[in-house]
Amino acid sequence: MIQLKGMTWDHSRGYDPMIATSEFFSKKHNNKVQINWEKRSLQAFADRPIDQMADEYDLMVIDYPHVGEVSAKGLLQKFDVDEYQSELNLLKEQSVGLSHQSYNIDGHQWALAIDAATQVCCFRKDLISSLPQSWNELSNLAQQNKVLWPLKPVHAISSFYSIYNNITDEFNPKDKNFINKEFGIKTLEMMKHITNHLISDCFIMDPIKTAEMLSSTDDFYYSPYTYGFSNYSRENFRENILTYGNVMDLSNKGPKGTHLGGTGIAISNKSYHKDLALEYSYWIAGADCQKSIFYKSGGQPANSIAWENQQINDECNGFFTNTRLTLNQAWIRPRHNGYMKFQDESGEIINEYLQSNTIEDIIIDKLKIMYAESFEQ
């Protein structure tokens, strides 16, 4: 039997679809091929360099900002190969937003999008009568102690981006000085205005913990910026069903400003079974698998055919229809070598600021210097 090893993240959304699709793939090959998946926490997954994983695993579920670090090192198998060119073109056409494009750098496709996500809002429809349409309305909810906002460092910088990019037109992450000081300060002040009224757990909370709390207690019923998890919108996944929707429009631009998340499947260039890895990867990224086995086993597709499927939306409380506009406008985070270090450190700074009395000018000046320096690494 031919055996391949894979690494993914340890939420049911990240693990269960890989198990289900691998079992089906094995049967397609008369049980002569087996893919064994391991899982790690999101943080452990993020902390382990891809070059280490590429030594050990044939298949890896990755986040696209890492692509810039590995493309020049030759660690990953390119997906733009002649025998799959038509399939690659079709996946580009069927991409939700920029999900597919996010894994393309230096003219090559380094992974295939299998999971699409961005920051959206989340709420308990059975507890909230109307959604906040302005920052003042959000503040009123927060003062009633009804708001959860995941602000663990990596999500703190994500929320900063989401708000900043919605209130200003001066947003160009390719510019080393892309943070406008006036709007940067305004963004921090807006965040602090809300976070002053949040429970302290929010500062160590991620979107999974947020969804768990919202779905298991009636104490809170709204989150303004959190990554969407369609699992929590399905019957019987948790005690209470969550509804996800587009983020607030803060400047008459619509739900614009969030950055793209999700995951893609990549193949180690050291794999001895690249042909099988390519076959499996193209299959699970394709519409037929994404709208059936992948979704039904708890996955959150990146293929528009699945997102537009009426039965799927009926089964998950309209998750995909309700958040599509936000995801379609989500932007691709920088992918240069020094970006991940900036993302980690800037998130720590914003997280600490929200819990302190630091002056906003100091924070923005520091972020501007750090971002410019990230291009030199």
Average pLDDT over residues 157-174: 90
Q: Residue 71 has what pLDDT?
A: 75
Task: Tell me which residue of 132, 158, 159 sits closest to 146, measured CA to CA.
Answer: 132
> Does residue 45 have a pLDDT over 70?
no
Lowest-pLDDT range, 122-126, 340-344, 347-351? 340-344
Share of the chain above pLDDT 90, in %: 85
* Strand ranges across the sheet with 243-245: 222-227, 119-123, 243-245
| pLDDT at residue 262 in the model | 94
The better pLDDT of the pair 172, 153 is held by: 153
How many residues are recorded in the chain? 377
pLDDT score, position 67:
82
> Using only C-alpha atoms, what is the Rg of the chain?
20
At residue 93, does pLDDT exceed 70?
Answer: yes
State how far the Cα of 328 lies from the Cα of 99, in Å rounded to an integer: 9
Q: Which region among 81-95, 226-240, 333-347 has the lowest average model confidence (pLDDT)?
A: 333-347
pLDDT-derived band at 125, boundaries 50, 70, 90: very high
Q: What is the pLDDT of residue 41?
A: 78
Q: Is the dihedral of CA 60, 341, 204, 369 positive or negative?
A: negative
359 band by pLDDT with thresholds 50, 70 and 90: very high
Confidence bin at 40 (pLDDT 50/70/90): confident
Please determine, for residue 70, whether its predicted confidence score (pLDDT) is greater than 80. Answer: no
Token couple for 269: 């260039």
- Domain ranges within the chain, ordered by starting residue: 2-117+260-317, 119-258+336-374
- Measured from the Cβ of residue 277, the count of other Cβ atoms closer than 10 Å reads 21
Residues 219-248: pLDDT tens digits?
A: 999 999 999 999 999 999 999 999 999 999
Q: In 95-105, which positions are buried (b, 16+ CB within 10 angstroms) versus exposed (e)?
A: bbbbbbebbbb
State the average pLDDT for the chain.
94
What's the confidence (pLDDT) of residue 276? 98
Query: In the structure, what pLDDT confidence band is assigned to residue 192 with cuts at 50, 70 and 90?
Result: very high
Distances (CA, A) of 249 to 138, 255, 324: 12, 5, 15
Long-range residue pairs from 372-376, CB within 8 A, at least 24 positions apart, any chain: 372/176, 372/177, 373/338, 373/342, 374/334, 374/336, 374/338, 374/339, 374/341, 374/342, 375/176, 375/336, 375/338, 376/338
Per-residue pLDDT at 72 exceeds 90: no
Confidence band (pLDDT; 50, 70, 90) for 174?
Answer: confident
Contact 178, 172 (CB under 8 A): yes
Distance between CA 148 and CA 144 in Å, rounded?
Answer: 11
User: CA geometry: angle at 188 spanning 340 and 68, to 5°?
Assistant: 15
Q: In the prediction, which pLDDT does 46 show?
A: 62
Map tokens 């390119």 to a residue: 78
> Residues 40-45: what's their mean pLDDT?
72
CB atoms within 10 A of CB 344: 14
Average pLDDT of span 10-35: 95
Interhelix angle 181-195/339-353, nearest 10 degrees? 50
pLDDT band at 66 (very low <50, low <70, confident <90, very high): confident
Give residue 77's region: left, alpha or beta (phi > 0; psi -120 to 50): beta
pTM: 0.94
* Range 119-258+336-374 has CATH code 3.40.190.10: yes
* Mean pLDDT (whole number) for 173-188: 91
Domain 2-117+260-317 bears CATH identifier 3.30.499.10? no
pLDDT band at 367 (very low <50, low <70, confident <90, very high): very high
